[in-house]
Copies of this chain bind each other. A is one copy, B any other.
């Protein structure tokens, strides 16, 4: 199975507008050199610019499970799909959703063929999220996000516990590993614990040399 490497641009200046396009091109270039599925996750207003310029998948950072109508400022499946997105994060720790909203967002995305990654904060919420049958669950203990301390080292139990829980409830759901991952050994450790990929952010985006940081991370795989 191909490892999934998802890079969340958040609202970092180093990953907004033209900088977002540059970073996406780096991701595209580096992804070709390694046996990985690289996904970029820019802000909604940047999706079109990037999806028109690179061939790797572009996901949205969020989607609302609402349709056509009086939903001013919602991010709809229709709008991100029209802009070129092929998937979306849902319930990121910086944009937690209500349970019913998560379910609606997954349903609306599935209906239009978008890939879904639901973010969770512990084994119990991973169980619940898996029960909603998204494509992926990305488990990220909030205290480790942006910390530089990889979850695979600080709290491997939350990853193995999530993998086990998902296997029992919905074995088709893939587990991604987030929070604090930036080096090749972190990625390898995450895969060893049973995850099928990683969710990255500041460790790559805020690196002095984004390309080198990404290559350092992926180099672990190509051995």
A residues with a Cβ closer than 8 A to B are: 8, 10-14, 16-18, 43-49, 60-62, 66-76, 78-80, 82-83, 85, 89, 91-103, 107, 120-122, 124-125, 127-133, 145-146, 169, 201-202
A72 is contacted by which of B17, B46, B78, B95 (Cβ under 8 Å)? B95
A46 is contacted by which of B10, B17, B68, B82 (Cβ under 8 Å)? B82
Copies of this protein in the complex:
4
CB–CB A18/B82 < 8 A: yes
CB–CB B96/A73 < 8 A: no
**Given known A11-B66, A46-B82, A49-B48, contact A100–B125 (CB-CB < 8 A):** yes
User: Can you name the residue of chain B whose Cβ is closest to the Cβ of A122?
Assistant: B103
8 A-B contacts, Cβ less than 8 Å apart?
A: A11-B76, A18-B82, A43-B74, A43-B76, A45-B47, A48-B49, A96-B100, A128-B131
User: Can you name the residue of chain B whose Cβ is closest to the Cβ of A95?
Assistant: B73
Q: Which of A43, A67, A75, A202 has the most CB of B within 10 A?
A: A43
CB–CB B125/A78 < 8 A: no
Contacts of A68 in B (CB 8 A): 11-14, 16
Contacts of A66 in B (CB 8 A): 11
CB–CB A10/B98 < 8 A: no
A97 is contacted by which of B70, B98, B107 (Cβ under 8 Å)? B98
Contacts of A49 in B (CB 8 A): 48, 83
> In the complex, how many angstroms separate the beta carbon of A175 from the nearest chain B beta carbon?
15
> In the complex, how many angstroms separate the beta carbon of A99 from the nearest chain B beta carbon?
5
> In the complex, how many angstroms separate the beta carbon of A129 from the nearest chain B beta carbon?
7
Pick the 6 closest A-B CB pairs, nearest first. A17-B82, A62-B73, A13-B68, A72-B94, A44-B44, A96-B98
CB–CB B71/A94 < 8 A: yes
Known contacts A10-B71, A16-B68, A169-B169; 15 further A-B pairs (Cβ under 8 A): A11-B70, A16-B82, A43-B75, A45-B75, A45-B80, A48-B49, A70-B201, A70-B202, A72-B89, A72-B94, A93-B100, A99-B128, A103-B128, A107-B124, A131-B169
